[in-house]
């Protein structure tokens, strides 16, 4: 049903990117996939004015020098990590997000893998603009990693998988992808749903309402599981979706979180509106399907 024959790994030579390389190598090695490394020279970054001359300040295009440097650097980038893999190394000039998405479409990429540059207690809440654009526009699943400075052994991220669904239109596809990944790595899968905590400010929570909605949600999760043919432990928790999903991922020791992109908001939650926050705050890499 799913396949990972072509992976796209955008490279910006950052520490986060270096950490993500081990994950890209693990995916490519496990599925014997073609791995494309792509560095995009941002044209706007390398055009600057010079000292005013006869005709005033003129822009100087430094992009060719940047491309030359990028090609030299890419030729030896992470050669040990990607040894024995089918690797293509490419350099492009333009808007990074646009070039990444265009390359993914042109090559029929099955998964884009990129860090989201959360390097500190503050920046963990900031999603890189390029990553955000790719998450918004890409047609294929996107893998993102925030806390990857200390990379785990390559086989560990796939042993325990948490699939968080909002029971919207994308839920079946997200669970199917997570179930497929679980079977490929013979891992453990937890199917998670965050139940909204409806209570007026200053009032006691309506426990009867919460019990009723939890029962409905559990029935829907069981139906979804049967529809997909997935084997998973079911977990429900009331509260803010981002907080409880990230907390559950840490609690079950998940190495990967799978969520859906593009599902409509409904009575059972708003994972679409929370997806960026989940990516930013997850304790482990996230695959957005």
Max CA separation in the chain (angstroms) = 79
Residue 125 pLDDT > 50, yes or no? no
pLDDT tens-digit series, residues 216-261: 899 999 999 999 999 999 999 999 999 999 999 999 999 999 999 8
Q: Which of residues 117, 149, 181 is at a domain's end?
A: 149
Domain residue limits at 244: 155-289
The CATH number of residue 180's host domain is 3.40.50.620
Q: Which of residues 149, 171, 192 is at a domain's end?
A: 149
Tokens standing for 196?
């909204």
Is residue 14 domain-shared with residue 124, that is, in the same domain?
yes
Is residue 84 domain-shared with residue 136, that is, in the same domain?
yes
Is residue 74 domain-shared with residue 141, that is, in the same domain?
yes
Give all strands (DSSP E) within 50-175, no chain letters. 59-61, 86-94, 111-115, 142-145, 160-164
pLDDT tens-digit series, residues 75-121: 999 999 899 999 999 999 999 999 999 999 999 999 999 987 644 33
- Looking at per-residue pLDDT, the higher value among 57 and 171 belongs to 171
3-state secondary structure of 253: coil
Tokens standing for 177?
């992808």
- Tell me how many domains the chain contains: 2
* Confidence (pLDDT) at 120: 37
Round to whole Å and give the CA distance between 235 and 111. 27
* Confidence (pLDDT) at 65: 82
* Confidence (pLDDT) at 221: 96
Residue 165 pLDDT > 90, yes or no? yes
Beta strand pairing status for 142-145 and 59-61?
unpaired
* Confidence (pLDDT) at 225: 96
Is residue 72 domain-shared with residue 145, that is, in the same domain?
yes
């Amino acid at each position: 049903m799913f396949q990972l024959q072509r992976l796209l790994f955008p490279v910006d030579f950052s520490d986060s990117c270096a950490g993500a390389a081990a994950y890209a190598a693990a995916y490519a090695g496990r599925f014997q996939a073609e791995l494309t490394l792509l560095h995009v020279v941002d044209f706007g970054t390398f055009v600057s004015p010079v000292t005013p001359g006869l005709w005033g300040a003129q822009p100087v295009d430094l992009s060719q020098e940047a491309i030359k440097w990028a090609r030299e650097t890419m030729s030896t980038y992470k050669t040990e990590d990607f040894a024995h893999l089918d690797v293509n190394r490419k350099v492009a000039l333009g808007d990074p997000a646009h070039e990444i998405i265009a390359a993914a479409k042109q090559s029929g990429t099955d998964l884009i893998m990129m860090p989201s540059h959360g390097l500190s207690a503050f920046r963990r809440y900031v999603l890189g603009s390029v990553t955000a654009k790719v998450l918004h526009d890409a047609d294929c699943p996107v893998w993102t990693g925030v806390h990857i400075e200390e990379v785990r052994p390559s086989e560990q991220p796939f042993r325990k998988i948490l699939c968080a669904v909002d029971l919207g239109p994308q839920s079946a596809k997200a669970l199917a992808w997570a179930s497929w990944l679980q079977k490929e790595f013979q891992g453990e899968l937890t199917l998670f749903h965050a139940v909204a905590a409806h209570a007026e400010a200053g009032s006691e929570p309506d426990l009867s309402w919460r019990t009723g909605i939890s029962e409905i949600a559990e029935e829907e999760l069981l139906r979804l599981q049967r529809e997909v043919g997935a084997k998973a432990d079911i977990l429900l928790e009331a509260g803010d979706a981002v907080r409880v999903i990230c907390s559950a991922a840490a609690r079950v020791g998940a190495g990967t979180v799978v969520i859906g992109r593009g599902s409509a908001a409904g009575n059972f939650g708003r994972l679409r509106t929370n997806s960026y926050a989940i990516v930013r705050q997850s304790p482990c890499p996230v695959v957005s399907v």
